[in-house]
Amino acid sequence: MSALEARNLVKEYRGDNYVVRVLDDLSFDADAGELVVLLGPSGSGKTTLLSCLGGMISPTSGSIRVGDVELTGLAGAERDEFRRRRVGFAFQGFNLIPSLSARENVAVPLLINRSVSRSEAYARADALLDRVGMGDRLRSKPGQLSGGQQQRVAVARGLVTDPFLLIADEPTASLDHVQAEAVIRILRELRDDGRVIVVSTHDGRLVPAADRVVHMLPGGASFQPEPVTVRYAPGETIFGQGQHADLVYVITEGSVEIYRDVGDGSEEQLAILGAGEYFGELGALMGFPRSASARARADVLVEAMGANEFRQGVERGRY
Ligand code: ADP
Ligand code: MG
C-alpha cells in the first residue's frame, strides 16, 4: 500500500454564474520516504492541491488517503486533529511570526498542541534548526535572517510535530540559486525519515531532486457546465486586460468593443464585434491572462461558457 494516494481529485470553485475546475481528475501515489514535486505554472492549482492534501479544504470529488487515514472521509474535529498531528506545513512567504525568535517560531505548533512540555518543545526546535543548518541562529528573529534562512526555519517548523506528511508551497520561490540549493538539499535529506514530502514549484530547479513529479496543467481544465446568458449595459466592462481568463463569450445581441490599454492612459481599439461573433477564446483556451479588455457598446447579450464547452461548440459547427 502506498503511503499517500490521491484518486480522481476534482476541485471546482463556484461563482455566481461560472464554475472553475482547478483540479480535473488528478491521481497520483507516493511511497514513504519520497519527495514529490508538483510542477506547474502559476494558476495551475498547486496551492489548491496542497490544501486538499493537508486537509485545509475538501476536494469537490475524489479521495485522498494519507497513511491509513481516509482523509476525504474525515470532517470537523477529526479533520482538525488529523491536520494538527499528521501534517506539517511550510507555506509560501514563510508565515513566520516576526516578534518571535527562530527557536520560538519552530516550537509554536508544539506549544499550541500542548503535546509536550515547554522545555521539550524548545529542545526539539533546537535539534531541528540544527538539522537545517540554523543551529547558530536560534535566537535570531525572522527580520534578521535572509530569505533562504527564513525558509529553512519554516521547514523546521513544519517538521516539529514529526508529521507523516510535510507540505511545502513554493519553498524555493524568491530565493537565489545558492539559497534554493540549500533548501532542496534539506528537503531531500528530510524525506529519508520515512515521511512523504510534497513540494510545489513553478520552476524546474526542484525536478532533479524529485522522486516523483506531478505535472499540473494550466487553464485548460477550466469549464462551465452550461453556457450562461449574461446581459451588459452600454459601457460596462465584460473583462479587463491582464485578468485571469476562464470564459469564452458568444454575442447573441448588441455589439462589443475589444481594446487595449496603450500605457499612456489612452486606448487602442482592436475590434468591434456583433451578434454571432465570439471573443475571449484565446486566454480561456490557452490559459493566458486577458491580452485586451472587452466592453459593451450597447445593451449586449452574451453566452458565457468554459473553454471545453466552447471547443465542443466549435467542433459541432455551432460557432
Ligand atoms: P497555483 O498555486 O498553481 O498558482 P492555485 O491553486 O492558487 O494555483 O489556483 C488555481 C486556480 O484556482 C486559479 O485560477 C485561481 O484563481 C483559482 N482559485 C484559487 N482559489 C480560489 C478560490 N477560493 N475561489 C475561486 N477561485 C480560486
Ligand atoms: Mg500557489
Question: Measured between alpha carbons, how far is 311 from 219 in angstroms, rounded to an integer?
Answer: 14
225 pLDDT more than 60:
no
Ligand 1 atom at minimum distance from 51 CA? 6
Q: Is the pLDDT of residue 32 over 90?
A: yes
Q: Is the CB of 13 under 6 A from ligand 1?
A: yes
- Using a 10 angstrom Cβ sphere, with 0-12 exposed, 13-18 middle and 19 or more buried, the burial of residue 61 is middle
pLDDT of residue 272: 96
pLDDT band at residue 15, thresholds of 50, 70 and 90?
Answer: confident
Strand 256-261 versus strand 228-232 pairing type: unpaired
Probe residue for ligand 1, chosen from 10, 48, 216 as the CB with the greatest number of ligand atoms within 8 Å:
48
CA distance 125 to 107: 5
Q: With a cut of 90, say whether residue 127 has pLDDT above it.
A: yes
Q: What is the pLDDT of residue 94?
A: 65
Query: Could you say which ligand is closest to the alpha carbon of residue 40?
Result: 1
pLDDT at position 222: 36
- Contact criterion met (CB below 8 Å) for 293 and 261: yes
State whether the beta carbon of 293 lies less than 6 angstroms from ligand 1.
no
Q: What is the mean pLDDT of residues 267-280?
A: 93
Taking the C-alpha atoms of residue 69 and residue 214, their distance in angstroms, rounded to an integer, is 22
∠ CA 154-43-314, rounded to 5°: 165
Does residue 230 have a pLDDT over 60? yes
Kindly report which listed range (29-33, 204-208, 278-282) carries the lowest average pLDDT score. Answer: 204-208
- The pLDDT of 61-84, averaged and rounded, is 93
Tell which residue, 290, 249, 291, has the closest CA to residue 273: 249
Ligand 1 centroid to 276 CA: how many Å?
Answer: 31
Band (85; pLDDT cuts 50, 70, 90): confident
User: Is pLDDT above 50 for 10?
Assistant: yes
In this model, does residue 226 exceed pLDDT 60? no
Whether the CB-CB separation of 292 and 259 falls below 8 Å is answered with: yes
- Among 80, 83, 70, 68, residue whose Cα is nearest residue 32: 68
What mean pLDDT comes out for the span 126-131?
A: 94
Most confident of the following: 65-74, 205-214, 302-311: 65-74
Q: pLDDT by residue (tens digit) across 40-58?
A: 888 889 999 999 999 999 9
Instruction: Report pLDDT for 8.
Output: 92
Tell me, what's the pLDDT at 115?
A: 80
Query: Domains of the chain (ranges plus CATH)?
Result: 4-215 (3.40.50.300), 228-315 (2.60.120.10)
In ligand 1, the atom with minimum distance to the C-alpha of 170 is 2
Contact 234, 298 (CB under 8 A): yes
Tell me, what's the pLDDT at 179?
Answer: 84
pLDDT tens digits, 178-224? 888 888 888 888 887 789 999 999 888 888 888 888 888 775 443 44
Q: What's the pLDDT score for residue 264? A: 81
